[in-house]
Chain A
Amino acid sequence: NAGVTQTPKFRILKIGQSMTLQCTQDMNHNYMYWYRQDPGMGLKLIYYSVGAGITDKGEVPNGYNVSRSTTEDFPLRLELAAPSQTSVYFCASRLQGKYQPQHFGDGTRLSIL
């Protein structure tokens, strides 16, 4: 039972490069989320999706894009990497329903140099 799987675990990018952080879940969850975690801070919501083909912005969406073509996958795209995007990124998913908890992946640690 894999749960939420994120790849890669670590990545170093140069300023201006682009990359896609992958997230897949095998629990048939409709709702998926991307967060970033900065040192000493809680998690901030970047984007979320309530189902295939439906995405919406969270608290800190600037510099990121997402897509949701299937229930299982929710990739996060950085088009022009900037040092301010150095962070740990977490993907999460949950069942639809009022009191359902979110299930998290192990994170991707990204450094922009």
Chain B
Amino acid sequence: GDSVTQMEGPVTLSEEAFLTINCTYTATGYPSLFWYVQYPGEGLQLLLKATKADDKGSNKGFEATYRKETTSFHLEKGSVQVSDSAVYFCALSDNAGGTSYGKLTFGQGTILTVHP
């Protein structure tokens, strides 16, 4: 079945540091890939997405590129801020055969803490 693996956390960085959170996936079809962010006490918010190989999703300074050859979708940001402290989830939606109904398979989440 489908699966998503994220790098072990938590991740602690100083403000303005470079961020990478690794995400790899296994899927039977041609999935869409997503990064969601969860701030304390809130639900998940879509951060960015990519729907086909070599697509780059970007939002709020975050980027991720859909790499089919390495089955990866790593999240990066050049200079993190304290306000980026949150839990980040990588997820896939398997579009194979049109019967997935948009169901998401999530990674376990990575806690990011940014210190001033």
Chain A positions within 8 Å of B, measured between CB atoms, are: 4, 31, 33, 40-45, 48, 50, 58, 90, 92, 94, 98-107
Chain B 10-52 near chain A by CB (<8 Å), digits 1 or 0: 0000000000000000000000101010000111111001010
User: B10 to nearest A CB, angstroms?
Assistant: 10
User: B106 and A106: CB pair below 8 A?
Assistant: no
With most chain A CB atoms within 10 A of its CB, the pick from B41, B44, B49, B98 is B44
Q: Which residues of B contact A44 (CB under 8 A)?
A: 106
Q: Pick the residue among B46, B51, B89 that contacts A42 (CB under 8 A).
A: B89
User: B43 and A100: CB pair below 8 A?
Assistant: no
- List, sorted by A's number, 10 A–B pairs whose CB atoms are closer than 8 Å: A31-B101, A42-B4, A42-B109, A94-B102, A98-B51, A99-B95, A102-B102, A104-B44, A104-B45, A106-B42
Chain B residue, CB-CB nearest to A40 = B108
User: A27 to nearest B CB, angstroms?
Assistant: 14
With most chain A CB atoms within 10 A of its CB, the pick from B42, B43, B101 is B43
CA distance A94 to B100 in the complex (A): 13
Q: Pick the residue among B4, B42, B51, B104 that contacts A99 (CB under 8 A).
A: B51
User: A105 and B43: CB pair below 8 A?
Assistant: yes
User: B49 and A50: CB pair below 8 A?
Assistant: no
User: B43 and A42: CB pair below 8 A?
Assistant: no
User: A64 to nearest B CB, angstroms?
Assistant: 16
Q: Pick the residue among B42, B98, B106 that contacts A43 (CB under 8 A).
A: B106
User: B47 to nearest A CB, angstroms?
Assistant: 10
